[in-house]
Amino acid sequence: MQAFNPYLPSWEYTPDGEPHIFDGRLYVYGSHDRFRGHVFCLNDYVCWSAPVDNLADWRYEGVIYKKTDDPDNPFGRACLYAPDVTRGPDGRYYLYYVLDKECTVAVAVCDQPAGKYEFYGHVHDRDGNLLGHREGDEPQFDPGVLTENGKTWLYTGFCSPFDATRHGPMCTLLGEDMLTIEQEPVFIMPSKPYSEGSGYEGHEFFEASSIRKFGDLYYFVYSSVVMHELCYATSRFPDRDFTYRGVIVSNNDIGISSYKPAEKPMYYGGNNHGGLVQINGKTYIFYHRQTDGTTFSRQGMAQEITLLPDGTIPQAEMTSCGLNGGPLKGRGTYPAYIACNLFTDEERPYSGGPGSKGFWLDGTFPRITQDGRDGDEEQGYIMNMTDSATCGFKYFDCKGVTSVTIEVRGYAGGFFEVKTAWDGPVLATIPVEFTNVWTKYTAEVQALYFTYRGHGSAALNSFTLE
């Protein structure tokens, strides 16, 4: 069994992934988007898990918390934004979250890491006043949590680059009851209006607080004001002296220069959120990508990273093999939705932006999608492969591969160029014709990149290496 990116089935949309190991299993907690949703996080919280010795064997744990389980949301009118989970001193599991129409931190609890969580309360001070509602409090958002030595550190915040009323991400110390504030919030890094001379310039905090401790260093991971990148800062203390260290991953690969110019976007990016985890001596970053030409249908991704002795992390590139532990086998049939690169000759770094309608790409750009409705277990594919559209797949062990077969449908009259690099020589061409059913075409070549040239629009379902 091999692991792919995205690491969950193509019909699952669970962004903002926070990975945690509990009792020999890896659990990922995130928000839950809807396929073709009109806003973020429309669905209930679900959980997926995998054994630490087989990161390709994911198990659906089911719905762990419904929107309507929150007493302030009996009709489900508010969405459940990005959560995090920690094991408390009592051995129970605590889920921290913020509703999209609230500015307080709610907590649910469960005896199992992926059981049915029950509402527990809100983070408050010793007088019972809710954090986020008190005079002088800044709104709470995207909680990240870390429990050690019987205490829990809570990290929150959302800072628009144009809002001087937001000063940066906050760190709050909670007591053993997991709710009561023991140490008032402190700002651990500046927002953009206050970042001059801080070392964070150009990568200031935006959202997506996530915290881990490896060795004697605390790693604070966050989404910067450029949105598509997850950055990190480190400190020897949980609540002060954090220093900016760099970018861990970008969901359009901006900043990666190993296979293309550093500033060239290789995917249609958007906001980002995720966390770090160490498994069997290896370190991984979990993050998400945008699909369906919108920023509201996001999928979980993961990459192995290198944690250097000085605590730094070189930026990781997006790949199709993710958690696999090495290249994918150069044999067999692979679904097109595992493309890690997707672009046209007209560069666009985001799913939304100039020329697009709201948060959506316009109809001239390729996108990963699926048939059916949200919840239908339909395999994803790439649609709208118009002239110059390129999809890339990395990495494969292609020794001995002699042919590639692609499965295509659509009203298209042209050909697919087959290359081993996005700008490499064309090693073969595969002509395609008008068809409204999936049809296979074959060429004799090794393959990693496919570029469509011609009229109309094709959809790519899979490719087979033989």
Cα separation, 401 vs 453, in Å, equals 24
Q: Which residues contact 423 (CB under 8 A, 6 or more apart)?
A: 260
Q: How far is CA 310 from CA 188, 199, 213, 238, 363, in A?
A: 21, 18, 14, 18, 46
Give how far Cα 293 sits from Cα of 35, 37, 38, 301, 337, Å: 11, 11, 12, 17, 13
Do 10 and 18 form a contact (C-beta atoms < 8 A)? no
HEC-encoded secondary structure of 350-363: ECCCCCCECCECCC
Exactly one of 12, 16, 18, 317 is catalytic; which is it?
16
Distance CA 154, CA 145 (A): 5
Task: Select which of 12, 70, 207, 304 is catalytic.
Answer: 207
Q: What is the largest CA-CA distance in the chain?
A: 73
Q: How far apart are CA 266 and CA 422, in angstroms?
A: 9
Nearest to 280 by CA among 308, 300, 304: 304
Please list, residue by residue across 276-300, b when 16 or more beta carbons sit within 10 angstroms of its beta carbon and e when fewer do. Answer: bbebeeebbbbbbbbbbbbbbbbbb
Please say if 16 is a catalytic residue: yes
Q: Is 207 a catalytic residue?
A: yes
Q: Would you state the structure tokens that stand for residue 315, as one six-digit string?
A: 């930026």
- Token pair 């950055």 is found at 231
Residue 151 β-bridge partners: 148
Three-state SS for 303? strand
* CA gap 430, 465 in Å, rounded: 14
**Measured between alpha carbons, how far is 440 from 416 in angstroms, rounded to an integer?**
12
CB atoms closer than 10 angstroms to residue 79: 22
CA dist 9 to 3, 67, 190, 303, Å? 11, 23, 38, 17
Question: Is the CB of residue 234 less than 8 Å from the CB of residue 219?
Answer: yes
Would you name the residues annotated as active-site residues? 16, 207
